[in-house]
Structure 1
Amino acid sequence: MTDFQKILQESLIWAEGLAAIISLIYYNRGNKERYWKYFSFYLIIMFLSELMGKWGHLLIEYDKPKFFNYFVIPLEFLFFYWLYAAKSLGRPKLFYALSLLYLLSFLPSEFFFTSKKIIFSFNYTFGCLILMVLVIMEYYKQINSSEILNFSRNKMFYINLGVTLFYIGTLPFWTFFSLLNEYKELWNMYFSYFLISGIIMYLLFSISFIWGKRSS
């Protein structure tokens, strides 16, 4: 890892922390009973998980690959499936169906792929493909909405843009991780993009709470 990437990695963690703090400040302004509070809880859990991944080994012994593969990453995907399908698109049955498909994708990982990787390429790729479908559906909804001219006040606009840059933009990186690892220059470029897009995503999440509609 280069010095620049180390700086980006540290910045990503604190960008997550910033998003969590801002969400706590803004989520209850005018919509205490709304589902956005769960987005705030999600951001807090993600920040604490990243702290655990970074410094947890100094406090306790734990299996880092299992922690991320069986808790952090599934929580990320399942939360976004819920936010997109059940809440933004108003299709809870779609949320249940996609969540089941995603969870079933762990079976091939368990039987045919190594369990010692920080990220399971197969079910991460599958999870991202499902998320990409929801992202496209959300873009379609926004484009065809009567509120298109007020997109800057739409929380989901910022969230969708952040998810696009990070999860969809880095999909080839994790899908072809082993192959890209043989081309160090290309790997370093994509890894830097992964870190930069992650920082931008969490900044967009922060903006979604500050500028987004509070009546959502």
Structure 2
Amino acid sequence: MMSDSQQFLSDSFLWIEGGAALIALYYFKRLKEQHWRYFIYYLIIIFICEVIGKWGGQYINFSKTKYYNYIIIPFQFIFFYWLYGAKSFNNKTLFWTITALYIVSFIFSALYFKERRIIFSFNYTFGCLILMVLVVMEYYKQITSSDIINFNKNRMFYINLGVTLFYIGTLPFLTFYSLLRVYTQIWNIYFDYFLISNIVMYVLFSISFIWGKQNS
């Protein structure tokens, strides 16, 4: 049962996510010839998926656990693998390799782990660890770049920061969810962070379009 403040954050997140999709759509004409148009598609699709996840159960009977574990979360991870591996690092082999490893993790999850909670599974943890490696590589790339002085105009800087705060920051919470659930106070603090960091991530995604170079 969420507290009033947690419910407010949960409800606010959906609208902020939708706002990020609208802001991204505003820049579509400027970016339609670049690979960033796919990031715009991503934000729109994720918003629609979240709306379905929140209210779709009122009209269609489906398992939210399977919906998130086998559709939403894999789509998010694979997209970011593509954005980092194939585009930021310009290494398609890296993208296909880590994507294959992530898909294989579902087999291990099905054979050796029992999924009891939404987005609480081995494949999520493994997928997030892969993403963490990509995040570190991206930070290294930005730090060693000759254009580091203009980091505030680098769209990937804001995306990488958002991914760090949410996916990497909440990894322990989602990995050890059942263990933390016993300690109510700690769990609530981490759940608050989960909600807030999710909101901040999409705010940073919005900023990446507003402040990022439109020709990068």
Which residue of the partner structure matches residue 94 of structure 1? 94
Q: Distance in 2 between matches of 1:121 and 1:139?
A: 27
Q: Distance in 1 between matches of 2:160 and 2:174?
A: 20
Aligned length in residues: 215
Q: Distance in 1 between matches of 2:150 and 2:106?
A: 40
Deviation beyond 3 Å, 4+ runs, structure 1: none
Which residue of the partner structure matches residue 156 of structure 1? 156
1:15-164 pair list within 5 angstroms: 15-29=16-30, 31-164=31-164
Residues 191-200 or 119-128, more deviating: 119-128
Identity over aligned pairs, percent: 61
Deviation at 1:119, TM superposition (A): 1.3
Deviation at 1:113, TM superposition (A): 2.2
Kindly indicate whether the alpha-carbon contact (under 8 Å) linking 2:180 and 2:187 is maintained by their aligned counterparts in 1: yes
Kindly indicate whether the alpha-carbon contact (under 8 Å) linking 2:120 and 2:175 is maintained by their aligned counterparts in 1: no
Q: Distance in 2 between matches of 1:56 and 1:156?
A: 33
Deviation at 1:116, TM superposition (A): 4.6
Report the residue type matching 1:101 in the other structure.
L
Kindly indicate whether the alpha-carbon contact (under 8 Å) linking 1:27 and 1:209 is maintained by their aligned counterparts in 2: no
Which residue of the partner structure matches residue 165 of structure 2? 165
Spell out, residue by residue over 1:114-136, the C-alpha distance to the aligned partner (whole angstroms, 9 max, x if none).
24521132111101110000000
- The secondary structure found in structure 1 opposite 2:29 is coil
TM-score (norm 1): 0.97
Q: Distance in 2 between matches of 1:183 and 1:124?
A: 22
Kindly indicate whether the alpha-carbon contact (under 8 Å) linking 2:13 and 2:198 is maintained by their aligned counterparts in 1: yes
Report the residue type matching 1:46 in the other structure.
I
Report the residue type matching 1:109 in the other structure.
S
TM-score (norm 2): 0.97
Kindly indicate whether the alpha-carbon contact (under 8 Å) linking 1:109 and 1:120 is maintained by their aligned counterparts in 2: no
Higher relative contact order (CA 8 A, sep 6+): 1
Report the RMSD for the aligned CA atoms in angstroms: 0.9
Report the residue type matching 1:210 in the other structure.
I
Which residue of the partner structure matches residue 4 of structure 1? 5
Q: Distance in 2 between matches of 1:138 and 1:21?
A: 26
